[in-house]
Structure 1
Amino acid sequence: MVMVSWNWWAPVRTCTLPCGTTNNAGGRLYIIIKWVLVPANEVQFTQVKYDFQQVQAPRLAGLLLKLFTILIEAPLIGSLITGYLKKQNKMNEMLRNTVIPEPPMFKPEYPPQEQEAGVVDLEEEGKPEDRVKSALRCLPHHDPAGRWNSKSTSFRYWKIRDYAYAYRSGLTTPAMVAENVISAVEECKNMVPQIPLLISFDVEEVRKQAAASTQRFEEGRPLSILDGIFMAVKDDIDCYPHPSTGGTTWLHNVRPVNKDGVAVSRLRSCGVIFVGKTNMHELGLGATGMNPHHGTPRNPHDPQRYTGGSSSGSAAIVASGICPAALGSDAGGSIRIPASLCGIVGLKTTYGRTDMKGTLYSPGTVEVIGPIASSVDDVMLVYAAMLGSSPADKISLRPPIPCLPNLSSGAGSVDSLPLRLGKYTEWFNDVHSPDISDTCGKVLTSLSEIHGCEIVDITIPEIQQMFMAQVVSYGSESLCSLVPQCQNGEYKKLALDSRIPLALFQSLSASDYVAAQRFRRRSMYYHMEIFKKVDVIVTPTTGMTAPTIHPSALSCGESDLEVTGNLMKFSVTANVLGFPAISVPVGYDKQGLPIGLQLIGRPWGEATILRLAAAIEQQWQEPKKKPIIYFDILKAD
């Protein structure tokens, strides 16, 4: 028995080498290496070295992608390939050859949190429209009349309050706006290249909802500020009468939709008009938004680039102006990544803050539903309507009363409540283009100089292991949801790029899953220690701006895990640990592509990150770029 100690990953480990085992054939020596971690509470943060490594895998498209998929699904060769990929990315080192002293944490567990200051409580058990009314009182001053009559040529998105003003003033009606929405969706279908934003779109259903909303306004009884507001829903969230395909061609045949998901139902009670189901990366198994079945949505800022995913259509339909808001889901950044790449706002809520009933992967431990909108104001309104924990989460998580920052008064501003912002510099700067870290860094400097925020240097141990915990957790949970279909061969109907991660997920063992949950507990400890010193952790949202769409990927897909790793580099923390996080646009790179800044909050700390996001949005006064693909729905002729 040999004991050796050295620095490996971040903390000091102990390597144990039991050797000397021989077999009966005479003399073969087996050496088993195990890395033994010290307990998380003994890790010295000052000794931690940045350890994030790029995903190691080749880019595949066309015939190579097809051949690789055939091989990785083959019984013998497939296991060799997955074994090699896991070795290249140190999966076995982390999951199987490491002794982790912590017990597993199978879903996020939070210590009690203090009530945030400068907030307005929302009645979780009350009506969604009452929560929206409370949220409206929290918003800063906005002059819809001035906006409507303005002759300014600078570009700005229409806000929900602009729509509400237009309806209440008789300048237009939901029925009239519906025709503009329908025309825009049809125009996108006829563009070259096509812009396939929606998988399910029923013109008469849209007109029916708009007519009912118009009648409510004519009778003077709109349901809420959201009445007549057009929204789209990601295709893994149930919205009756539309099917939920999850971006596939077949899942709706084995999983019929009979009613709205809980979040959709709450929004519908506020008068929201649902346009249809948005395109998405198939089954959420990618971060670009590519979909060979239904077509790949194009980034409104550059149609030759991806929107990001997997909530690709939801982000694109908001960024193009067709809807002021949309619903997405987020298991590894799927709301924040496309929001960042499309230059809009995306909120991932705390795990358990919203009810996931009526989604493809419910129940799970990493995914949540959240709003995507063009402004922080609109995100707050939609969030207020849809929030509310499931009965099971209320028992197990004991969520505190939901609240919003009171942005209508000075008492709720960042100036009156200066925040401590945590920045892990090595991680923050580990981006594909320095434009991203430079732009995000300037925002932090401004927050410090203008609003008195304190920038605190932090260190986060075991980022690589946290990334791996997300992959294993989401992969195991998504595969579990698809087991019947995988067994009867339906998975062969999936796109090639979707079948590759499923093959990898199938190679994971029960012990891999448990090891990932042990890392989840370690990471939770590290972050809760960090949150004793800071209020918000700040990073770029993505490690790169919108990647180029290769023509070879459009027909049969593409597997580029290096791009996926760059897009997800900063997002998985909030999923593994269930923290709230928001992406807010802060500028553009040298190619004119949007850059997003991510704010990660304490458990249940939505109000804090919304307050800071609003300050950033207000601070960033330089003119926004009008997307190349944009429809002025509200004032369209």
Structure 2
Amino acid sequence: MNLDSSFSPSRGGQLCDMAGKTVVKTLPTVEEVLTAREEYLNPEAAAPKLSGLGLKAFVWALEIETIGRPILGGILKQNKTLEAIRERIIPDDPMFYLEYPSQKRTEAEVLPLEEAGPSVARVEIALDSLPPSASSFKEKLSSEYPFLYWTIRDYAAAYSSRHVTPSEVAERFISAIEQSEKSSPRMAYLISFKPDDIRKQAEASTKRHAEGKPLSILDGILFAVKDDIDCVPHPSTGGTKWLHRYREVKEDAECVSRLRNAGVVFVGKANMNELGLGVTGHNAHYGVIRNPHDTGRHTGGSSAGSCALVAAGLCSGALGSDVGGSIRIPSGICGTVGLKVTVGRTTLKGVSGVSWTMESIGPITANVEDLVLLYSAYLGSLPSDQLISKPLPPCVPNLKDRATLQNLKIGKFSAWFKDTLEAEVAEVCERSLKLLREGYGTETEEIFLAELQELRNGHLVTVATEYATTLRPYYPHVKKEMGLEPRSNLALFYHFGSHDYVAAQQLRRRQMHYHMEAFKTVDVIVTPTTAMTAPEISPGSVKLGESDLVKSGNLMRFILAGNFLGLPCLSVPVGHDSKGLPIGLQLIGRPWEEATLLRVAAAIEEVCLPYRQRPKVFHDLLK
């Protein structure tokens, strides 16, 4: 076949043979796409919903190559997953690692943090950025005073006033965890739990407080760590039954070490979706993590245990990891605050990560002020971290000055924003923007984000091939030890090839262009965190798990740009639906501008506080 030699893939159009017959379509240039502004479309995912023995038979078929490849090929074709990956010419260079345009700081009223300095010094600066508490710890002790959660400052006041000691709080935590293991249903918060180690840490903190020498305001604060982040003396299993056999934990991850230096008491390793391969919080080995707002519903994943502990009042904070919404999804449907920082803002040293271009570590807390304190403590990259884009120096917002929000512009792509499975989700999120506008004078502007279906495809292929590459040495030896859901996902992941990965990175460059164009006119992009509230736990899925791509798609609809493009994102609770289930609003920021997200989140938290509720499962560790 002779092809027209004058064809140039840098122009939108199509590749034709000498007879003029279309052979291969070409994606239009990004400039043409932005000019055309095609209508937003979100085709529903098409795939079988399976659980129990049906899922077991499905995985068995997928893992037989002669049967599995046609099945997977059919599912991918039905969803048009590979249409823009394999069947079109993409007129863009690949972006193998995140490249951001050169930036000057645009954030107003911030306090700079010394990245290479001690964590205690950064925490002191962050503490100074907070406004005075609306009420004192003593006022909150009154049973008539309505509030949702104790803050870190409340715990510090309780310790300094001798109302309670870190050791007493630790004992209450240990008792609550032991009771939760006997509850029906079992909450399944933790994978590794060592009471004696908790007592040892708390005793040291109690002694420092008694001597009037706490390391920082974080001294004695209970904190959990997702089970893919190293924290001595616990193994890191990544939610598996095998990873710790290949990867010995000899020291804390860098982020854990920085928190420990500030006096944090680590309570154990939080339960998670196995290898992070899931968005519900189901783990076939360690149990289904239950949502404290409704124990018959999922917590969301994969940082499910971290989020559930915070939502239930058992910890002031927890660390999670995020490759496909794993911090934001559980935060959105459990009523907590979750921050996914810019990729490269924090080091991954000591994290058993699986995606080298998209993963980041972030805190989950019950309120924004605690998030500011914990973020300041653990952030920072190392000289060994290879970054193509030079990050702006870290900072925190000066929350004592809220007037700067008046000049802030919020971007909303309405067609996308309203694309929720449940109308109440979009309505509650819309109400939060109205309250923010009335309370702080912010402006909401309409923006356009192109090729969101290609964004999903690019993210899927990227995460799939990076996971598959990372796990390839282990997979043949440990496959039979895995749960059915991660095995079905990995069967799909190994379906993609190197040419698919390169094409996905071409789509990454296009998406970076579209989002950076939007950020020329707005400071923050807003969406619902998830397209649905917490889904019900199917009884048939408890033991063997389930595969439900439609459910996964609804939970992941709005979160992929944060990972695929490495952008900072934050989920903040804004209310509940008619069933009492939490709803989160997602804020997406410019690269390295976490402080702007924290500032906006603090304002949203304030105006939406009357619409929030405590979960049904709640532990008061101070009273």
Same fold flag (TM > 0.5): yes
Percent identity over paired residues: 49
Q: Which residue does 2:237 correspond to in 1?
A: 245
SS at match of 1:117: coil
Q: Which of 528, 537, 562 is the matching residue for 2:525?
A: 537
- Deviation at 1:446? 2.0
Q: Which of 362, 380, 385 is the matching residue for 2:377?
A: 385
Q: Which residue does 1:27 correspond to in 2?
A: none
1:480 aligns with 2:433: no
Q: Which residue does 1:90 correspond to in 2?
A: 80
- Cα deviations by residue, 1:341-386 (Å, 9 ceiling, x for unpaired): 1011000001100111111116611110000000000011110001
Amino acid at match of 1:47: R
Aligned residue runs from structure 1 range 390-429, under 5 A: 390-393=382-385, 395-408=387-400, 410=401, 413-415=402-404, 417-429=406-418
- Deviation at 1:498? 0.6
Q: Which residue does 2:45 correspond to in 1?
A: 55
- Over 3 Å counting, the alpha-carbon distance change for 1:414 and 1:517 in structure 2 is farther
- Over 3 Å counting, the alpha-carbon distance change for 1:146 and 1:35 in structure 2 is farther
Distance 2:251 2:514 in 1: 41
Distance 2:424 2:403 in 1: 26
Aligned residue runs from structure 1 range 548-563, under 5 A: 548-563=536-551
Distance 2:36 2:43 in 1: 20
1:104 aligns with 2:94: yes
Q: Which of 160, 182, 190 is the matching residue for 1:190?
A: 182
Q: Which residue does 2:433 correspond to in 1?
A: 444
Q: How many residues align?
A: 615
Q: Which of 338, 356, 363 is the matching residue for 1:364?
A: 356
- Deviation at 1:49? 1.6
Distance 1:471 1:363 in 2: 12
Amino acid at match of 1:228: G
Is the CA contact (8 Å cut-off) linking 2:363 and 2:371 kept in structure 1? yes
Is the CA contact (8 Å cut-off) linking 1:470 and 1:576 kept in structure 2? yes
- Cα deviations by residue, 1:23-64 (Å, 9 ceiling, x for unpaired): xxxxxxxx9842201221332345322132222111100111
Q: Which of 119, 127, 139 is the matching residue for 1:136?
A: 127
Amino acid at match of 1:202: K
Amino acid at match of 1:289: G
Q: Which residue does 1:15 correspond to in 2?
A: 14
1:122 aligns with 2:122: no
- Over 3 Å counting, the alpha-carbon distance change for 1:505 and 1:585 in structure 2 is same
Q: Which residue does 1:320 correspond to in 2?
A: 312
1:81 aligns with 2:39: no
- Deviation at 1:414? 4.9
Amino acid at match of 1:531: F
Moved more, 615-624 or 225-234: 615-624
Q: Which of 566, 574, 583 is the matching residue for 1:578?
A: 566
Q: Which residue does 2:346 correspond to in 1?
A: 354
Is the CA contact (8 Å cut-off) linking 1:154 and 1:623 kept in structure 2? no
Is the CA contact (8 Å cut-off) linking 2:406 and 2:440 kept in structure 1? no
- Deviation at 1:20? 8.7
- Over 3 Å counting, the alpha-carbon distance change for 1:479 and 1:147 in structure 2 is farther
SS at match of 2:392: coil
Aligned residue runs from structure 1 range 600-611, under 5 A: 600-611=588-599
Distance 2:18 2:136 in 1: 75
Is the CA contact (8 Å cut-off) linking 2:12 and 2:29 kept in structure 1? no
- Deviation at 1:621? 3.2
Aligned residue runs from structure 1 range 146-545, under 5 A: 146-361=138-353, 364-393=356-385, 395-408=387-400, 410=401, 413-415=402-404, 417-487=406-476, 489-545=477-533
Q: Which of 134, 137, 140 is the matching residue for 1:145?
A: 137
SS at match of 2:610: coil
TM-score (norm 2): 0.96
Distance 1:227 1:140 in 2: 21
SS at match of 1:372: strand
Amino acid at match of 2:190: L
Is the CA contact (8 Å cut-off) linking 1:210 and 1:228 kept in structure 2? yes
- Deviation at 1:623? 5.4
Distance 1:497 1:344 in 2: 26
Amino acid at match of 1:504: L
Is the CA contact (8 Å cut-off) linking 1:472 and 1:513 kept in structure 2? yes
SS at match of 1:50: coil
Is the CA contact (8 Å cut-off) linking 1:414 and 1:611 kept in structure 2? no
Amino acid at match of 2:14: C
SS at match of 1:578: coil
- Cα deviations by residue, 1:459-501 (Å, 9 ceiling, x for unpaired): 10011111111111111112222111113x3122110111011
Is the CA contact (8 Å cut-off) linking 2:576 and 2:611 kept in structure 1? no
Q: Which residue does 1:8 correspond to in 2?
A: none
Amino acid at match of 1:517: Q
- Deviation at 1:150? 3.0
Is the CA contact (8 Å cut-off) linking 1:45 and 1:459 kept in structure 2? no
Moved more, 203-212 or 81-90: 81-90
- Over 3 Å counting, the alpha-carbon distance change for 1:610 and 1:551 in structure 2 is same
Amino acid at match of 2:102: P
- Cα deviations by residue, 1:391-418 (Å, 9 ceiling, x for unpaired): 244653211110111002x2xx255543
SS at match of 1:620: helix
Distance 1:362 1:557 in 2: 22
- Deviation at 1:13? 5.2
- Deviation at 1:449? 2.6
- Over 3 Å counting, the alpha-carbon distance change for 1:170 and 1:35 in structure 2 is same
SS at match of 1:622: helix
SS at match of 2:450: coil
- Over 3 Å counting, the alpha-carbon distance change for 1:317 and 1:455 in structure 2 is same
Is the CA contact (8 Å cut-off) linking 1:424 and 1:458 kept in structure 2? yes
- Deviation at 1:634? 1.6
Distance 1:478 1:414 in 2: 44
SS at match of 1:276: strand
1:613 aligns with 2:601: yes
- Deviation at 1:626? 2.0
Moved more, 140-149 or 191-200: 140-149
Amino acid at match of 2:119: P
- Over 3 Å counting, the alpha-carbon distance change for 1:87 and 1:416 in structure 2 is closer
Is the CA contact (8 Å cut-off) linking 2:344 and 2:381 kept in structure 1? yes
- Deviation at 1:240? 1.0
TM-score (norm 1): 0.94
SS at match of 2:527: strand
Distance 2:517 2:382 in 1: 28
SS at match of 1:166: helix
Is the CA contact (8 Å cut-off) linking 2:333 and 2:581 kept in structure 1? yes
Runs of at least 5 residues in structure 2 that lack an aligned partner in the other structure: 5-10
Is the CA contact (8 Å cut-off) linking 1:415 and 1:452 kept in structure 2? no
- Over 3 Å counting, the alpha-carbon distance change for 1:519 and 1:392 in structure 2 is farther
Distance 1:351 1:41 in 2: 27
Moved more, 254-263 or 152-161: 152-161
- Deviation at 1:296? 0.5
C-alpha RMSD of matched pairs (Å): 1.9
Q: Which residue does 2:8 correspond to in 1?
A: none
Q: Which residue does 2:7 correspond to in 1?
A: none
- Cα deviations by residue, 1:510-554 (Å, 9 ceiling, x for unpaired): 010001100000000111011001000000000000000001000
Is the CA contact (8 Å cut-off) linking 1:366 and 1:470 kept in structure 2? no
- Cα deviations by residue, 1:262-320 (Å, 9 ceiling, x for unpaired): 10010000000000000001111111111111001100000000000000000000000
- Deviation at 1:165? 0.6
